[in-house]
């Protein structure tokens, strides 16, 4: 059985980090490029958000005895296979998992345009993930 209290705490953390990122939602690309402190804050906060989503997914997968994921992106695929997140959500979350790897492992320079685009267009993906998880928990707790 899924540990609803644990997942709830992680969803609260997700809300906290999303609220913190809202401060940067309207930043211009040129200002973002020039401010290394803002870059560090935003990139690290995005990393934490993505890792929280991965952690939540892994808890659900483990507690529900779903198949073992082969990668971070695969955790979201498993949620899709089990109708917890939609295919569209999966595609967005898969990109986020790959973006997390770029941040963490410095595979390449982080493109400021991508980060600013995420701030403007993809923050809602975290909210959608949260809503899907809540819906799943409500479905399975009754």
Tens of pLDDT, residues 48-78: 999 999 999 999 999 899 999 999 999 999 9
> What pLDDT was estimated at residue 15?
97
**CB-side exposure of 116: number of CA atoms within 13 Å?**
13
Domain that holds residue 45: 4-140
Q: How many domains does the chain have?
A: 1
CATH code at 60? Answer: 1.20.120.580
DSSP for residue 84: S
Q: What is the pLDDT of residues 85-107, one digit of tens each?
A: 999 999 999 999 989 988 888 75
Which residue has better confidence, 28 or 141?
Answer: 28
3-state secondary structure 41-54: HHHHHHHHHHHHHH
pTM: 0.92
CA angle 3, 132, 43 (to 5 degrees): 90
Q: What is the pLDDT of residues 25-51, one digit of tens each?
A: 999 999 999 999 999 999 999 999 999
């Amino acid at each position: 059985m899924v540990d609803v209290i644990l997942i709830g705490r992680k969803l609260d953390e997700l809300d906290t980090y999303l609220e913190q990122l809202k401060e940067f939602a309207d930043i211009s690309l040129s200002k973002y490029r020039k401010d290394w402190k803002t870059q560090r804050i935003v990139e690290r906060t995005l990393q934490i958000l993505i890792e929280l989503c991965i952690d939540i997914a892994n808890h659900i997968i483990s507690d529900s005895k779903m198949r073992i994921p082969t990668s971070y992106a695969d955790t979201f695929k498993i949620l899709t296979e089990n109708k917890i997140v939609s295919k569209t959500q999966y595609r967005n979350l898969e990109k986020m998992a790959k973006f997390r790897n770029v941040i963490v492992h410095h595979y390449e320079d982080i493109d400021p345009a991508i980060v600013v685009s995420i701030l403007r267009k993809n923050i809602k993906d975290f909210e959608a993930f949260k809503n899907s998880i809540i819906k799943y928990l409500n479905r399975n707790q009754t």
